Amino acid sequence: MLAEGGCKPVETRKTAARPWEIDDELWARIEPLLPVILRKPRRQVRKRPDSRKVLCGILFVLYTGIRWEFLPQELGFGAGMTCWRRLRDRNEAGVWQRLHELLLSELQAAALLDFSRAAVDSGHIPAMKGGPATGPSPVDRGKVGSKHHVIVEAHGIPLATTLTGGNRNDVTQLIPLIQAVPPIRGKGGQPLRRPKHLYADRGYDHEVYQYKVRRFQITPHIARRGTGHGSGPGVYCWVVEGAIALLQWFRRLRTRWEIRDDIHHAFVTLGCAVICWRRLRTALCRE
């Protein structure tokens, strides 16, 4: 195919895969984590939807933010409520959390994790239907909202998240975030669990919580309230802001539509796993 003017051939660009489609490498990691499904009685003729297709439907909702009842049937994902139930059941079985931990272990095995330091921060989102873990937001004229609290390692890879109401003080989630970091294996020796240094902005400046952080044998580096803004901890804190931006890049995580907080947190955990898989896949493609 020639370009305009007939001077130089134009390279045809291949169509990129849809982001909600699961490739074989990722499915090989997910399938062993799924709980065993018992056989149905013979009288039940209805065919059970394929687990891989249903998971693609869940990712489709995560990426696009579409309502469950509007899930396109022509794509073969199954009914929206079927995908919702699978999301709920897999979350109660701990599948999404184990997938996140598995990918973190593979990142550690590939020497892509840096536990020399970590950073914490939060991002606010509106909650349109209310529910648990919501509250009046101080940054959105008192409208009901929620917060995503995230802890990342030095490269911005999410290690753990918590979900609270929009009026919850950030510093109250400092210790729960540290405790939520799972033991990360992948190499010989003790599994990684605690970073050496922890960076945070002025919202986490409290003497009591700094003392609690030190009890985990972690050195806190938290900006002091009342001081002028400069480079300071911001040299290292920007990675967590990038991780929050990546999470809110998923349309379903920009606005909370779920009344149940466990369903929304399941989406957050699945989003963290997708971010980890992207980092791992990029590293594997470079080798």
Contacts 24+ apart (CB under 8 A), 134-143: 134/165, 134/166, 134/256, 134/261, 135/164, 135/165, 135/166, 135/167, 135/168, 136/166, 136/167, 137/166, 137/167, 138/166, 138/167, 139/166, 140/166
The predicted structure's pLDDT at residue 191: 87
Name the domain count of the chain: 2
Q: Are residues 125 and 220 in the same domain?
A: yes
Domain that holds residue 186: 113-257
Q: Are residues 88 and 123 in the same domain?
A: no
Helix, strand or coil for residue 93?
coil
Q: Are residues 117 and 147 in the same domain?
A: yes
Q: Does some domain include residue 285?
A: no
For residue 237, give both structure tokens: 């804190």
Question: What gap in Å lies between CA 213 and CA 197, rounded to an integer?
Answer: 10
The predicted structure's pLDDT at residue 209: 92
Q: Does some domain include residue 135?
A: yes
Tens digit of pLDDT at every position of the chain (287 positions): 334 344 433 333 333 468 888 989 999 999 999 987 655 555 555 667 788 999 999 999 999 999 999 998 888 888 899 999 999 999 999 999 999 999 999 999 999 999 999 999 999 999 999 899 999 988 778 889 999 999 999 999 999 999 999 999 999 999 999 999 999 987 877 888 899 999 998 889 899 999 999 999 999 999 888 776 655 677 888 899 999 999 999 999 999 999 999 999 999 999 999 999 999 998 888 76
Q: Are residues 83 and 213 in the same domain?
A: no
Q: Are residues 133 and 76 in the same domain?
A: no
Q: Does some domain include residue 101?
A: no
Q: Tokens 């195919």 correspond to what residue?
A: 1
The predicted structure's pLDDT at residue 1: 38
Q: Does some domain include residue 14?
A: no
Q: At what angle do helices 80-92 and 95-109 cross, to 10 degrees?
A: 70
Q: Are residues 227 and 140 in the same domain?
A: yes
Question: What gap in Å lies between CA 52 and CA 50, rounded to an integer?
Answer: 6
The predicted structure's pLDDT at residue 142: 81
- Residue from 226, 231, 230, 180 nearest 203 by CA: 226
Q: Tokens 């802001």 correspond to what residue?
A: 241
AA letter at 188: G
Q: Are residues 121 and 70 in the same domain?
A: no
Q: Does some domain include residue 75?
A: yes
Q: Does some domain include residue 62?
A: yes
Q: Are residues 73 and 194 in the same domain?
A: no
Helix, strand or coil for residue 138?
coil
Q: Are residues 199 and 120 in the same domain?
A: yes
Q: Does some domain include residue 122?
A: yes
Q: Are residues 122 and 250 in the same domain?
A: yes
Q: Does some domain include residue 81?
A: yes
Residue 54 contacts residue 77 (beta carbons within 8 Å): yes
Please count the residues of the chain.
Answer: 287
- Residue from 177, 24, 160, 175 nearest 100 by CA: 160
